[in-house]
Amino acid sequence: MKDDLWQYLKQVAGELWGVSGVSRRVRVGLWMLMGAMWWHSRQTAWHSLRVGRGTAVLGAKLGRDVEEVGWLFAVGLAHDVGKLAVPVGVLDKPGKLSEEEFEVIKRHVTSKAWPVFLVRIQSWRYPKRWKRVYEALAWHHMNWDGSGYGPDGEVREGMEIPEVARMIHAADWLDALRNRNDRKADGRKMMEVEREILRGVGSLFDPEIGQVARDWVRMFGENAGVSGR
């Protein structure tokens, strides 16, 4: 188990220290958070890494500069830190969640579930950057059409949803779809992922971001940047 943890942390460190736009303090803090996430739920830890990669790729394909892409990787990596407050029996449950369990899961987008140092220190020292981190963590389960969920039952739709949250939302779905179809042959699996993404453009996803995600899957298939542990 320790070897698996070391493999994960080494991979996270290699990718965190390989991007621009992220301070050393943030890199170290995220690295420690991801270690805590691995102990809590390895499934969520690996998912977070893939979503970080996917968010960065979407940012690059949307024309963001190198520093912004690095920051998108970091915030995508951190998008589910609120799940540290979700009991692992609910978080990693293999079957369908009950209504009560889903309500517990939904709490991870509220700041009450986030690590205290992330909220208090970052909001005090870096108010502008914290605002964007808050937007990413709070709104990444909000759909373009206003369905989904936000913090404390608040609803937004369309351009009211912060752009960083819209990017993470697409990368999150892409990873979930890819892993849901994981037992199918690679070609069939990625065709189904492409169809699901296309079906969600304009309802689940920002039209521009959804099209970019769909084109990315079509072009690179199994190697679309979120694959691998």
Largest CA distance in the chain: 49
**From 2, 10, 61, 83, active-site residue:** 83
Measuring CA to CA, which residue among 115, 51, 55 is closest to residue 83?
115
Note whether 109 and 149 are within 8 A (CB): yes
* DSSP-assigned letters across all residues of 129-153: HHHHHHHHHHHTTB-TTS-B--GGG
Bridge partner residues of 108 (DSSP): none
Is residue 189 among the annotated active site residues? no
Helix (H, G, I), strand (E, B) or coil at 90: helix
Residue positions annotated with a catalytic role: 83
